[in-house]
Amino acid sequence: RLFHVKQRLTDKGIALLVADAAQAATVGVITRPAAALAAALWPGGLTLVLRVRRGANLPPVLTGGTSTVGVRVPDHPTPRALAAAVGPLPTTSANLSGRPDAIDAAAVMEELGDGVDLVLDGGRTRGSRASTVVDLTTDPPSILRAGVIDETRIRVVLADDAMSRRDRKAP
């Protein structure tokens, strides 16, 4: 239904909003670099692309038919509380595919209308930039979409983690 309402192609996966890194680990494999990024930048505008955890049993429509899943811990308490109560939430921006993001509940209703059963009004969004998407299934990790979190910040967190690992291995 989400794909239909947004007029979105089904070959593009849907990210999951999760309550925290522990919940993210129930659906995706949290590597050391993923854990470093999560610790430094969640909650916030960072989507991590992870390998699907064995046994996660995610529908192929969520993963776009791949073995990866996007997860994000939002910086708003309402979706985190919902995810904690009911489990990871498949979600996208509240707009028709290819259109600008809706920034408040009224704009969501105008854009999606009868296609949605309920809109929770958590207030106006803090900004219009999308989350930064980092693929952690590649070595080194790669930025798939530039967004609200600057690439430099991502690189610093990953470099600090790599240096920390090297320091622990040194005699």
- Tokens representing residue 99 in the block: 């259109």
Is the pTM higher than 0.75? yes
Place of tokens 């530039």: 146
User: What is the rounded average pLDDT of the residues 125-148?
Assistant: 90
CA separation for the pair 84, 97 (Å, rounded): 27
Q: Which pair of structure tokens corresponds to residue 157?
A: 């967190």
Q: For residues 161 and 171, give the distance between their C-alpha atoms in angstroms, rounded to a whole number.
A: 18
- Rounded to an integer, the average pLDDT of 94-111 is 84
Average pLDDT over residues 12-30: 96
Q: What is the pLDDT of residue 171?
A: 59
Quote the mean pLDDT of the chain: 90
Least confident of 69-73, 87-91, 106-110: 106-110
Residue 61 has pLDDT above 90, yes or no: no
Residue 143 has what pLDDT? 97
The arrangement of strands across the sheet holding 68-72 comes to 89-91, 15-17, 68-72, 46-51, 132-135, 142-145
| Strand segments (E) across the chain | 15-17, 46-51, 68-72, 89-91, 132-135, 142-145
Question: In which band, very low, low, confident or very high, does the pLDDT at 132 lie, cut at 50, 70 and 90?
Answer: very high
Residue 167's pLDDT band (cuts 50, 70, 90): low
Q: How many of the other CB atoms lie within 10 Å of CB of 47? A: 22
- 140-158 pLDDT, tens digit per residue, is 999 999 999 999 999 999 9
Does residue 159 have a pLDDT over 90?
Answer: yes
